[in-house]
A and B are shown apart, each in its own frame.
Chain A
């Protein structure tokens, strides 16, 4: 049992990176989800096609492939040096989950009852007003549980950043394992438990949101 007290502080060194990547990619991906979700409902054909293209590309390939691709290809193809691997990790996770969540945004907006749009038209509101004042407040509620679920998915995805050399929990775990192979099972079990502890409040949040999201929404 001494090993546990020895291993935990080592793993905790990586906790910071895990949380930074989670928060960074969560904020960025929600932003991307809203922008591309709204763009996919736009009247502009080019905008719609372009968004559709982005969504299909990122939903059609694996996150791990996208991560490596961004890490190796971005500097070569576009001469963009992100400056840090941290940013590459955050952007890869955000682009991937942003694509998935844009479908959530689109679906929720479409599922707000037609009568609401008609009421907005009857009140002589502009398209933007209708969206901002009537549709979105209801649609956002419906998005919340799915957003929460994807947040748990993103938490799980943060473990991938160790593969491009970021020093998160898994990175320190691997480092420790490479010198203490007999304790490998303890190390990885502790990492799993750490992730589970991080996920617990999110699981609770999703359950809260599920009951909250149905209130005061006119959907078909």
Chain B
């Protein structure tokens, strides 16, 4: 293995690894969408009218959330084909989207929950007092107030997921990390390719996290103003 930093390898590996940005981005978006949808499903399952069933789903959620996503990916990729009755071979891409999407859907579901809980009780009562139907209540009163504070939280999870996507390289999705490893295997130099991956992640995630912080500040400001005028 090389024992010195080499700019030649750096510039040689760069175009090779940049090709993986698209896959990493695509996987991030796909598994984020999966998590957004499934987060919604959890919300319903946990509010299931039967106590026992909602309790079971609460624990399934807890199980998914507190076990390593890496092992979950391995379970889907290597283990799923040998699951009785429903087992099937899944492609690495499917595993990544379903595995990471499912893992983060449990977090996203909490975001939804906290957003809905943050709507003041009086608003629910007002909806009832005005004899709003359930769809009206949600679209006209609850969601318009619950959604804006969720946006920065969801944005944060999008960035977190972006950084977790390289886990899928272990089962063979050809994102940035996998390409860097391939380059390393071919040229017997891991330092430069891995540094490139780290730099790319930093360059891509830092501006978006700044954007989210700005959004958060702006929203806080807005809500502070509301409180101020309400107390006047």
- A residues near B (Cβ < 8 Å) are 56-57, 59-66, 68-69, 72-73, 76-77, 152, 155-160, 163, 170, 173-174, 177, 181-189, 191-192, 195-196, 199, 202-203
Residue pairs across A and B with CB atoms within 8 Å: the count is: 124
Residue of A nearest to B170 (CB): A163
Distance of A153 Cα from B206 Cα, bound (Å): 21
B157 within 8 A of A: no
Q: From known contacts A62-B163, A188-B71, infer whether A76 and B191 are also in contact, taking CB-CB under 8 Å.
A: yes
Main secondary structure of the interface of B (DSSP, over half): helix
Q: Is A195 touching B163 in the complex (CB atoms < 8 A)?
A: no
Q: From known contacts A152-B66, A156-B69, A185-B83, infer whether A65 and B194 are also in contact, taking CB-CB under 8 Å.
A: yes
Contacts of B1 in A (CB 8 A): 76
Q: Is B82 touching A182 in the complex (CB atoms < 8 A)?
A: yes
B67 within 8 A of A: yes
Provide 6 A-B residue pairs closer than 8 Å at the C-beta atoms, listed in order of the A residue: A61-B201, A66-B198, A73-B190, A163-B70, A187-B79, A202-B66
Contacts of A163 in B (CB 8 A): 70, 170
Q: Is A192 touching B205 in the complex (CB atoms < 8 A)?
A: no
- B residues near A (Cβ < 8 Å) are 1-5, 62-63, 66-72, 74-75, 78-83, 87, 163-167, 169-170, 177, 184, 190-191, 194-195, 197-198, 201-202, 205-206, 209
Distance in angstroms from A141 CB to nearest chain B CB is 22
Q: Is B163 touching A196 in the complex (CB atoms < 8 A)?
A: no
Q: Which of A60, A174, A196 contacts B63 (CB 8 A)?
A: A196
Residue of A nearest to B62 (CB): A203
List 10 additional A-B contacts (Cβ < 8 Å) besides A76-B5, A182-B82, A186-B82. Answer: A56-B202, A56-B206, A60-B205, A69-B195, A72-B184, A72-B190, A76-B3, A159-B70, A173-B74, A188-B74
Distance of A202 Cα from B4 Cα, bound (Å): 43
Contacts of B72 in A (CB 8 A): 192
4 shortest interchain CB distances as A-B pairs: A185-B79, A188-B75, A159-B68, A199-B66
Contacts of A192 in B (CB 8 A): 63, 67-68, 71-72, 75
Distance of A176 Cα from B23 Cα, bound (Å): 31
Q: Is A174 touching B4 in the complex (CB atoms < 8 A)?
A: no
Contacts of B66 in A (CB 8 A): 152, 155-156, 195-196, 199, 202-203
Contacts of A184 in B (CB 8 A): 78-79, 81-82
Q: Is B70 touching A160 in the complex (CB atoms < 8 A)?
A: yes
Distance in angstroms from A25 CB to nearest chain B CB is 14
Distance of A152 Cα from B66 Cα, bound (Å): 7
Q: From known contacts A61-B205, A156-B69, A181-B82, infer whether A189 and B194 are also in contact, taking CB-CB under 8 Å.
A: no
